[in-house]
Amino acid sequence: MAESENIVAETAEKIFADLADAQTINHDKQGAWKAPLWQALTEAGLPLSWVPDDLGGSGASLAEGFSVLNVAGRHAIAVPLAETMLAGWLLTQARIASPEGEMTVVPAGPKDRITLNSDGSLSGRARGVPFAKDAKHFAVLASGNGSNSIALVDAAKCRTESGTGLGGDHSDTVTLDKVPPITIKPAPKNFDQTALMLMGGVVRSLQIAGALEAMLDISVRYSNERVAFEKKISRFQAVQHNLARLAGESAAALAAATSAADTIVSATSLDNDAVFLEAASAKIRCSEAAEKGGGIAHQVHGAIGFTIEHILHRYSLRALAWRDDFGSESHWAVELGKLVANRGADELWPLVASR
């Protein structure tokens, strides 16, 4: 990790440690912690990390932004930091300035479509949009007339139906009915919905990897504190085996997510096989690790890990919820299979060995 990445990640870590302590948040039923946290993140320029200075952002690199997302995953924060970062990145692709405040991306699933009408308005429905209810603006990728466009939309002009994800955060349905965008510009050549979903998938992969790191830390600490039959449960072979498995899942997720992030950082375009292979594989592997790792962590904790008072569920449930955003592992497994099949059997090994 470069020195600048360290500085940005350390800044995010300090803000989360000071204002997003999991135990404090767990006991705050009114959500009073959210405003101070968002204010601190905004003052540090983190929500618009990927937006250049001349477009209203802080001009951080892709690598620096990815490091922030991994830290955010380790704290399982319930504010739209990742969504606003991704929205700012999408708007930047069309050189659209980002406004202040919370944003999210529409659509957030590969099967939903937003259409650009002949009069310049936008129509369509997107399901499972994270934090749509909290967003002041939407960054929208729309298709029409054989090309793609990127638009900034006032969230108040859209109809948003509330929904809740596994982690308890907003996962809403957004309907655009001939909504006039604030700004709309053509998307770059070859930039399509697959590119957006791949970028979103890497964002979620890094968050899942971070959450698994936190679950491992919590589980190891608990196993060294909990005493059963007059000895710490960490001394039982079955518990040691489970913790080793959890460490393996965490390491695999982190390796896959960071490899995909590094590939995007070094790529000149998202429209290439290397990015597709890395990003799709990362989303698949991290999603599998979220299921396996979460189950192991709860098994180590026993009944107490399932209680609402314990912090473990903040990480395990969010990691599971992030599996479905920007394409589930099933979706990307099918798409990855199509890529391999289209290239032919002789190209399989060169494709895998090149990474």
First CA to last CA distance, the chain? 20
Residues 6+ apart with CB under 8 A from 336: 276, 277, 280, 281, 284
The correct CATH number of 94-189 out of 2.30.30.230, 2.60.40.1730, 2.60.120.380, 2.40.110.10 is: 2.40.110.10
193-353 and 1-77 share a CATH fold: no
pLDDT of the residue at 7 = 87
Sequence-separated (6 or more) residues with CB below 8 Å from residue 26: 308, 309, 310, 311, 314
9 and 67 Cβ atoms separated by less than 8 Å: yes
Q: Report how far residue 267's alpha carbon sits from residue 91's, in angstroms, rounded to the nearest whole number.
A: 19
Q: Give the CATH architecture of domain 1-77.
A: Orthogonal Bundle (1.10)
Structure confidence at residue 305 (pLDDT):
84
Give the pTM.
Answer: 0.94
Q: Which residue has the tokens 């360290």?
A: 6
Quote the crossing angle between the two packed helices 237-266 and 273-301, to the nearest 10°: 160
- Enumerate the domain spans of the chain: 1-77, 94-189, 193-353
Whether residue 107 has a cis bond before it, omega within 30° of 0 = yes
CATH fold of the domain at 193-353:
Butyryl-CoA Dehydrogenase, subunit A; domain 3 (1.20.140)
pLDDT in tens, the chain (355 residues): 555 567 889 999 999 999 988 888 888 878 889 999 999 999 999 999 999 999 999 999 999 999 999 999 999 988 999 999 999 999 999 999 999 999 999 999 999 999 999 999 999 999 999 999 999 999 999 998 889 999 999 999 999 999 999 888 999 999 999 999 999 999 999 999 999 999 999 999 999 999 999 999 999 999 988 888 888 888 899 999 999 999 999 999 999 999 999 999 999 888 888 899 999 999 999 999 999 999 999 999 988 888 888 999 999 999 999 999 999 999 999 999 998 898 888 888 887 777 6
